[in-house]
Amino acid sequence: MQIGVLCETRPGLRDSERSIAIPDFWGRKQYIRIEAYYLHEHEGRTYMPLTFIDEDAEKVLVELPYEADSGKWRLFVSKKNVLHLEDGKP
């Protein structure tokens, strides 16, 4: 199942690319570069579609499509930053 996770975006190295920061559950940011067309806009906010792995009462474990600059492939994110996607769309 794919979910959208709230992220911050900056211009990437190419016009078609974005550098994104995904805050984890504890507020640390994980940085990856991604093609801009992967991102979803919903109600003025930007979300990155990620693979859902597991959840508990407050957080969701997700898998990144690429290794973050920190070396992480999976991270916990706050449920308040999650948007459920159907067929890749909000």
Which one-letter DSSP state was computed for residue 38? G
Residue 89 has pLDDT above 60, yes or no: no
Nearest Cα neighbor of 22 from 6, 41, 35, 36 is 6
What pLDDT sits at residue 63? 96
- Return d(Cα 73, Cα 79) in angstroms, integer: 18
**For the segment 14-47, what is each residue's pLDDT rounded down to a tens digit?**
999 999 999 999 999 999 999 999 999 999 999 9
What are the phi and psi torsion angles at 81 (to 5°)?
-100, 15
The model's pTM is 0.88
Cα separation, 82 vs 52, whole angstroms: 10
| pLDDT range class, residue 90, cuts 50, 70, 90 | low
Q: Tens of pLDDT along 1-12? A: 789 999 999 999
Structure-block tokens of residue 63? 């898998």
Tell me how crowded residue 48 is: count the other CB atoms within 10 A of its CB. 23
